[in-house]
Amino acid sequence: MLTHDKIWQAIDRLGTLFGYSASGLAKQAGLDPTSFNKSKRFGPDGKPRWPSTESISRILAATGATMSDFIGLVDDNVSAPYKEQTLTIPVIGFAQAGAKGYFDEDGYPAGDSWDEVQFPQVNKLSDSKIYALKITGDSMEPLYRKDDVLIVSPHAKIKRGDRVVVKTTSGEVMAKHLVRQNASGIELDSLNPAHHNIKLASNDVVWMGRILWVSQ
């Protein structure tokens, strides 16, 4: 049964699973940082306040978890074992990604020079080909900052508006918003307003992967 307490319990568990406090999870989802505070869970008259479906949708998008994962966290018996389920994935610094030997021609991790990190094994992250890129500079601020870790899937379906990592034939690797894509090329919107948007011809793109989520 989906009670008020259990829904909020699932939100707290989801935050803990991905390393966020209640306010950190709300902020990561683009909500007011106080949205999930315990003081907001009941009204002045003592009546329970329920999180909106939009709020839940946003935290699922921010973490990469699915609705099935969220419902699983409602169960009182799953918190501890669920938290222990992790996935080991390869990780390198963002600056290294442009060097030879780290990816094959399809954009999959290659070679043995990758480090490893542990991440929660939710359904969306069960792909054996996903990898992580650690931000090392400030060119992607304010959205991504130094030491943030981007989780990237090289073959997840990509649509307009998605955040993507692109490698060009010149060896440059960049994180952008995909504005549009057609047979002739792609148009990318910069995450940092100080950088210009760019257009790339199809033959200038080596590979493109979708950013599933970011650990901050």
Please give the Cα distance from 41 to 75 (Å, whole number).
19
Q: What is the pLDDT of residue 18?
A: 72
Task: Classify domain 4-83 at the CATH topology level.
Answer: 434 Repressor (Amino-terminal Domain) (1.10.260)
Residue type at position 185: G
Q: What is the pLDDT of residue 192?
A: 77
Tokens describing residue 58: 């946003």
Q: What is the DSSP letter of 52?
A: P
In the sheet that 205-215 helps form, which strands lie side by side, from edge to edge?
115-120, 86-93, 131-134, 149-153, 205-215, 163-168, 173-182, 185-190, 198-201
C-alpha pair distances (Å), 194 with each of 79, 98, 161, 164, 165: 43, 22, 19, 18, 18
Does residue 86 contact residue 118 with C-beta atoms inside 8 Å? yes
Residue appearing with tokens 């419902």: 71
Please give the Cα distance from 133 to 95 (Å, whole number).
9
CA within 13 Å, CB half, 200 = 24
Superfamily of domain 85-215: Umud Fragment, subunit A (2.10.109.10)
C-alpha pair distances (Å), 137 with each of 23, 26, 92, 148: 26, 25, 14, 10
Q: What is the pLDDT of residue 122?
A: 52
The list of the chain residues with pLDDT below 70 reads 1, 19, 76-86, 120-128, 216
pLDDT tens string 175-201: 888 999 999 999 999 877 777 789 999
Whole-model pTM?
A: 0.63
Q: For residue 197, with 0-12 CB atoms within 10 Å meaning exposed, 13-18 middle and 19 or more buried, which class applies? A: exposed
| Per-residue burial over 129-163, b = 16 or more CB atoms within 10 Å of its CB, e = otherwise | bbbbbbbeeeebeeebeeebbbbbbbebebeeebb
Location of each CATH 2.10.109.10 domain in the chain = 85-215
Q: What is the pLDDT of residue 41?
A: 93
Q: What is the pLDDT of residue 84?
A: 47
**Parallel/antiparallel/unpaired status of strands 185-190 and 198-201:** antiparallel
Does residue 151 contact residue 167 with C-beta atoms inside 8 Å? no
C-alpha pair distances (Å), 20 with each of 16, 55, 151, 173, 215: 5, 15, 16, 28, 9
Location of each CATH 1.10.260.40 domain in the chain = 4-83
